[in-house]
Amino acid sequence: MLTNSLANIFRVPELRKRLLFTVGMLAVYRLGVFVSTPGVDRVAMRKVVASQGGLLGLFNLFSGGALEQLSIFALGIMPYVSASIILQLLTVVVPALEKMQKEGEVGRKRITQYTRYGTVILAGIQGIGIATYLESLRDPSGLAVVTTPGWSFRIMTVITLSAGTAFIMWMGEQITERGIGNGISLIIFAGIVARMPDAIFQLYAAYKAPGAGMDELRLVILVAVMVAVIAFITFVERAQRRIPVQYAKRVVGRRTYGGQSTHLPLKVNTSGVIPPIFASSVLLFPATLASWFPFLQRVSDLMQPGGWVYNTFYVVLIIFFAYFYTAVTFNPVDVADNLKKYGGYIPGIRPGKKTAEYIDYVLSRITFGGALYLSAVSILPTVLINQFGVPFYFGGTALLIVVGVALDTVQQIEGHLITRHYEGFTGPRGPRIRGRATATGMNA
């Protein structure tokens, strides 16, 4: 069954073209990770990341290993994510941007253009901070990471890193438009997945090395936690709260229309993996500011991943962005107006304002559950792994991104297959695969 479904993918010319285009773009991205920034020592930087871990390790994870390679893609896609956060926050408080967002496709294109400008500006600012920070780094043996420090190195680094981020942003937009899935999410997905073979090798080395703290029991616990988290993520990402909707009968001439019963599906996790990505991006700012203002170094040290301060802020930001992103992407008033326009109503609820209030009430409750789910998946596996002393590279956030993006991509592929009268991945009688909410704020 699965073999036939995979074969059907290559029988559809458009789907085959989109899939090959996506794979080609991701291959270009992975090749760019190994193109180093001029004037740096990759070996020394790799030793620094391995010895320090913490924030550097987290940043290196989202950049797909580009940071430890000191690649032209070292900044990754995070400046674009940060610019998206800023624009979406401004859309709520600035009436001109809010009006622009409601102008349809033209307004969204203008906001996307502003996001691109913001990405380049943030990449330049972060590039200066990283260049200054790199000049102060030395590996455990005392070897300097930067071979020729000075303003020439800083300017070259800013130009190189900003161009690399702009190129990644362009690739993400091209994947979204001409490929399969959300381009930005897939680039983050590819960076995380590319690190898995190395993580498995490190885990095996820790298991074989005497005194490394990895025995059979801890290995079983680690595998069990990972399997349970993946199953839990898959279950919740496909969960829905279905609100019953009834359409009134309409008589047009001699024909009667409507009268059927349906439902309004509200996903438990409407915001997808956007809150953890946004929260991680925001928590990277203290380290960037500390490289500019030394008196903030204490704050940066407190915000190291894994500490209770970092985890507390991480959970708070995840809950905030879950509600914020849901409010930006789902408008109960518009849904209620559309239902009223086409003669639909929720049994027991008056159409119009009361319907909007009811949908908002239900959505707020399930969003709170979705936010707690995101927080638990992002924090608990990492806490458990640290508690048992199990050395492993990935935490809950990485698993959440990988599973969520995989579900989205499979759902889009299945949609193409069903549209062209092919069976989906689950066969003619199997359940349809539902991905999480589309990351519209990260689309081109």
Which domains, and CATH codes, for the chain?
2-442 (1.10.3370.10)
In angstroms, the CA 299 to CA 288 distance is 11
Question: 245 pairs with which residues across the strands?
Answer: 262
Question: 250 pairs with which residues across the strands?
Answer: 257
Contacts 24+ apart (CB under 8 A), 333-340: 335/264, 335/359, 339/245, 339/264
269 touches 435 (CB < 8 A)? no
SS3 305: coil
In angstroms, the CA 162 to CA 60 distance is 17
Identify the pLDDT of residue 167.
92
In angstroms, the CA 7 to CA 169 distance is 31
Q: Tell me if the pTM is above 0.85.
A: no
Identify the pLDDT of residue 308.
78
137 Cβ contact partners less than 8 Å away, ≥ 6 residues apart: 44, 45, 48, 144, 145, 146
In angstroms, the CA 206 to CA 212 distance is 6
In angstroms, the CA 394 to CA 210 distance is 22
> How many residues in the chain?
444
Starting at the earlier edge strand, list the strands of the sheet with 261-267. 261-267, 240-247, 344-345
SS3 266: strand
Identify the pLDDT of residue 24.
92
Identify the segments of the chain with pLDDT beneath 70: 1-6, 49-69, 139, 210-214, 249-259, 287-297, 300-301, 304-306, 381-382, 384-395, 420-444
Q: What is the DSSP letter of 431?
A: P
Residue 333 corresponds to which tokens in the numbers above? 């008033």
What are the two backbone dihedrals, phi and then psi, of residue 314, each rounded to the nearest 5 degrees? -60, -45
Identify the pLDDT of residue 264.
86
User: Among candidates 131, 126, 134, 125, which has minimal Cα distance to 49?
Assistant: 134
**pLDDT > 70 in the chain, percent:** 76
213 Cβ contact partners less than 8 Å away, ≥ 6 residues apart: 206, 389, 390, 391
Residue position matching structure tokens 């559950």: 369
pLDDT tens track for 66-108: 666 677 888 878 888 888 878 877 887 788 887 887 777 788 8
Identify the pLDDT of residue 62.
59
189 Cβ contact partners less than 8 Å away, ≥ 6 residues apart: 401, 402, 405, 406
Identify the pLDDT of residue 201.
77
